[in-house]
Structure 1
């Protein structure tokens, strides 16, 4: 079948070639015009297809360029975000350093600056580990603070580190007083049963107040100095709620220190200008 079709095509081609040679110039021109007339729509269609193909190729090139530009912009955006985060980190570090330097200059206490280097997720509200120890004149029982207020006290230590018991632990009890009043009591955390979650800060209270003490929310709670562990006048927090119990009054306290976000602390070793014991 294919061979027969090929023979027919060859025959038509030879016939057309013969007509070109035997026809007169006038008839040959008419034949060419007729042929061009027949082929013209196909040639136009082919030209349109070629034009559209070129436009399509150009569109693909533009799409590739847009994708490449999008990738470049994405990389630039990621770099910008990383730089922005780094600058924010530097800003936070600068604020932290200014706060620490300001406290060192204004505090009436002689202190040892320390960084928090350890904290157990299972005892988040109980203890922290700091990078200062006995070789840095840190001793067991010393109060630990930040520029915002009381953190806790040193429990155990080695030459280069120490464990601090936080005021948010139920075993830490602090003698406190209400600023602007004669009311005093014990600041502590009461935990009935197991803690529901380590992500929830335990509620801190000031206990053994007068049952109908004329106190109000917002009043500050300071260390009273009783017990000689914590120097007097250190901010503990402020009253957020008052409760009258059967025998005494109780104040719910919001700590002044961000216990969950501790990073830098100060260990109080004494008062500025005080003579050290031999």
Structure 2
């Protein structure tokens, strides 16, 4: 290479160094133009680098991702079951606490019992509890909850008892209407399995002044049920041919019975 060409190359290199090292208005303009000319080549090289990095990056295994997702679903379902069990335990503890408080405050001597069996064919008529004759349970003993009257015991076994529900027509209770002098006999009715039966308070006075919502209590007549047990509330009053009749909504929700109390009645004095 000729000396002139070498000298020209050195001068050009020095100019480039000056352009990219000195911070003046002129050099900044020159740098901007040079970067503009070189920008296509810079973008192309960046794209080539990204493609090379993507090619060398580890590939995602679809089977592993699916397996991880399945494991996460199993863990979530397990946690959901644990949460449900926890909520059931909390609810059960609340029920037991309520039962203990009611037993301590009730004016009766009572035996707590758990409902262990109900049949769909006799859902509104009877149920089975886990206490019987060897537990001090007698026949025709009143069965209640903290809300009101459930029914009375009938057939007994050593540690089992059948309870005739208030909604059965065979369980009849002498009853009175709150705020009135009206008294009658409250009984259930036979109905279809899917229909919740109503209670009928019969032998009331015709044209009796009984308002909807009035509470109905046991009167204590007959000696089977103690007085002032809540039976339900009046839905409507109807005049019959001879007497009046009130349709009563039961106080107890018979579809959700878990625990009950059997009252120990005192024998009548001779």
**Which category of TM-score, normalised to the shorter sequence, fits these structures?**
0.7 to 0.9
Q: Distance in 2 between matches of 1:269 and 1:251?
A: 30
SS of residue paired to 2:81: helix
Q: Which residue among 209, 215, 220 is the counterpart of 1:220?
A: 215
Give yes or no for contact 2:214–2:234 (8 Å, CA) kept in 1.
Answer: yes
Query: 2: CA distance between counterparts of 1:276 and 1:97?
Result: 32
Distance 1:73 1:55 in 2: 29
Aligned residues: 221
Q: CA 1:134 to 1:259, structure 2 compared with 1: closer, same or farther past 3 Å?
A: same
CA contact (8 A) 2:182 2:204 kept: yes
TM-score by length of 1: 0.72
Q: CA deviation at 1:146?
A: 0.8
Question: Match of 2:67, SS?
Answer: helix
Shift of 1:64: 3.9
Instruction: State yes or no: 1:148 paired with 2:147.
Output: yes
Question: Which residues in structure 2 correspond to 1:54-133 (within 5 Å)?
Answer: 58=59, 60-61=60-61, 63-133=62-132
Q: d(CA) in 1 for partners of 2:72 and 2:55?
A: 28
**Structure 1 residue 100, shift from structure 2 partner:** 0.4
**TM superposition shift of 1:122:** 1.3
Give the 5 Å matches for 1:1-278. Answer: 58=59, 60-61=60-61, 63-191=62-190, 195-196=191-192, 198-270=193-265
Instruction: Give 1:32's aligned residue.
Output: none
2:4 — aligned with what?
A: none
Distance 2:219 2:184 in 1: 9
CA distance in 2 between partners of 1:56 and 1:186 (Å) = 86
Deviations 1:192-228 (A, max 9, x none): xxx33x2322121111222222221211111111111
1:270 partner SS:
coil
The alpha carbon displacement at 1:145 in A equals: 0.6
Structure 1 unaligned segments of length 5 or more: list them: 1-46
Task: Report how far residue 171 of structure 1 moved.
Answer: 1.3
Question: Is the alpha carbon distance of 1:245 and 1:54 closer, same or farther for their aligned partners in structure 2, counting shifts above 3 Å?
Answer: farther
- SS of 1:253's equivalent in the other structure is strand
Q: Look up the match of 2:26.
A: none
Moved over 3 A (4+): 53-57, 63-66
Instruction: Assess if the C-alpha contact under 8 Å between 1:111 and 1:270 holds in 2.
Output: no
1:42-100 per-residue CA deviation (whole Å, 9 max, x = no partner) reads: xxxxx9xx97x959983x52x44542342233112211210121111112101111110
